[in-house]
Copies of this chain bind each other. A is one copy, B any other.
Amino acid sequence: MALAHAILACLMDSDCTGYDLAKQFNGSVSLFWQATHQQIYQELSNLETLCWVDSQTIPQAGRPDKKLYHITELGRKQLIEWVKKPCKPPSTKDELLLKIRLGTLVERQVILEELERHRQIHLKKLSVYQDLKHQRFQNPQALPLKAQLRYLALLRGIGYETEWLAWCTQAVQVLGAEAATN
């Protein structure tokens, strides 16, 4: 039920529509959670059934009515209980590593190109995170605790992408060296 809790976490900051939430899950929240609008709308209606959130409908001219969601006292309590519970480290399923393992089935060039493509993707993400760091966390120690906690998520993103980059570089070296000798 963690998507539900990720949504509640956003609603702790401010009331949101499904649309607003979808944007957040494509932005800052995507550092540790991803969800599409379909999932979000679905989950919001579940949460409303549970009375963990309530909503007010705001009529609009020329577009669909807006539904603004608000976390309830019950929702807040449930969220706090959830935070206290221990959790498992995330499990990842990595197609690229599987393809690398099968590298002997295709021409080396295919694998090298895919590695380079992934290296670029991680490079780009890292640069986005680095920019964020410089823009909003110049002097992190001076920030209030809440901001420092968000800074930790950003540091995790930076570390994760940095490690990926280093690995891609190393993998290209290993495969490149083999290409020269074999």
Contacts and interface: CB of A to CB of B under 8 A. Distances in A.
Interface of A: 2, 5-6, 9, 12, 31-34, 79-80, 83-84, 86-106, 110, 114, 117-118, 121-122, 141, 145-146, 148-153, 155-156, 159-160, 162-164, 166-167, 170-171, 174, 177-178, 182
Contacts of A151: 174
B174 A152 contact: yes
Secondary structure of the A contact surface, majority rule? helix
Contacts of A150: 101
Nearest to A92: B90
Contact of A102 (B83, B162, B163): B83
7 contacts: A6-B98, A32-B98, A33-B98, A101-B149, A103-B149, A104-B149, A162-B163
Nearest to A13: B101
A83 B110 contact: yes
A146 B104 contact: yes
A167 B159 contact: yes
A167 B155 contact: yes
10 smallest CB-CB distances across A and B, nearest first, come from A32-B97, A87-B95, A32-B94, A163-B163, A159-B163, A90-B94, A90-B92, A83-B102, A103-B149, A34-B91
